[in-house]
Amino acid sequence: MCQMAGVQSEISVHSAQIKFAVTKKWLATDSFSYFTQLLQFVESGFRCDTHTFSEQQKRCAVMLYYDLYDKAGTYASIEDMFRDLASDQLFIQELHEVVDYLRDRCSAPEKADNSVYKEWNPLRLHGVYSKAQIQAALGLSTIHRKSPSREGVERLKSIKLEAMYVDIIKKREEGSMTAYKDYAQSREFFHWETQNRVREGSREAEAYRNGENNMLLFVRQQVEHPDYGCRMGFTYLGQVTMKSIEGSKPMQIVWHLNTPMSEATYAFASQYKAIG
């Protein structure tokens, strides 16, 4: 816009990436801690020694990668990405202004992670993140491979991690007779239905019953953001443990939240609906 107005003659070679990040990711992100880390990257001019990064910083860098790019493999490494971004001063200037503004508008009541992955997980309890950010943070996506998952559950078997992505208001597919009943019973308990194929006695059912995986719960009101025209972010509700399990195809599970959800999250998470 400054170039079009004649205020400046040049434009960042990464201007498309900034637009993609803002319109597709950041307007739906509410995490003061994440934007603070991005500001630290920006304020260093991306002239960072990535080899000294903590595990959380490394994962935040991959989150940033998927904020800027929609597919894996644009760079061979985070070091290469930072080197490229450091060469674009207009990008650094614009990104600083944008991220600083986005951080100031954050309102999520973030808390420290309560999961067994808290030592390396950059996500904060009750923060709001895009699915791509979550996948990068948890190691489900890397800079070399983007997670292909489009389902409501995703597993990383090597560390016994299972992430549940829940839309409270669902748009039912044409012809579908399934209306998954996913909703908060209270601030501490969440009713969730498995995928329709999961039956009593199956391997998946036994895994849930025996607590084989560490279950992380992410919820959002609906797919499309009502104000910004992008996909809504998921609120991270942390690690949950099973209170009860019953039924078959799908099975009904009630999860106990190790940390109660906020009142704001409960306000939308308790309103089960299916439309379409």
Helix locations, 13-130, DSSP H: 15-20, 32-43, 55-68, 78-86, 89-104
- Tally of domains within the chain: 2
Assign 8 a pLDDT band (cuts: 50, 70, 90): low
254 and 160, same structural domain?
A: yes
User: Is 124 a member of any domain?
Assistant: no
**Tokens matching residue 229:** 């025209």
Assign 271 a pLDDT band (cuts: 50, 70, 90): confident
Final residue in a domain of this structure, among 104, 122, 137: 104
99 and 155, same structural domain?
A: no
User: Is 137 a member of any domain?
Assistant: no
Final residue in a domain of this structure, among 38, 70, 104: 104
Q: Please state the rounded mean pLDDT for residues 73-85.
A: 97
pLDDT of residue 150: 84
254 and 155, same structural domain?
A: yes
Between 238 and 10, the more confident residue is 238
pLDDT tens, residue by residue, 203-239: 999 999 999 999 999 999 999 988 888 899 999 999 9
Please indicate, yes or no, whether the overall pTM of this predicted structure exceeds 0.75.
yes
pLDDT of residue 9: 54
The Cα–Cα gap between 111 and 257 comes to 14
User: Is 122 a member of any domain?
Assistant: no
pLDDT tens, residue by residue, 142-177: 999 999 988 899 999 999 999 999 999 887 544 444
Give the CATH number, domain containing residue 205. Answer: 2.30.280
The Cα–Cα gap between 17 and 11 comes to 12
User: Is 109 a member of any domain?
Assistant: no
| Alpha-carbon separation of residue 101 from 105, 207, 275 (angstroms) | 7, 44, 35
Instruction: Domain of residue 212: give its range.
Output: 149-275
153 and 271, same structural domain?
A: yes
User: Is 115 a member of any domain?
Assistant: no
pLDDT of residue 94: 94
User: Is 25 a member of any domain?
Assistant: yes
Q: What is the mean pLDDT of the chain?
A: 91
**Tokens matching residue 139:** 């190691």
pLDDT of residue 228: 82
Query: 25 near 133, Cβ under 8 Å?
Result: yes
pLDDT of residue 11: 75
pLDDT of residue 191: 96
pLDDT of residue 273: 56
**Tokens matching residue 23:** 């319109």
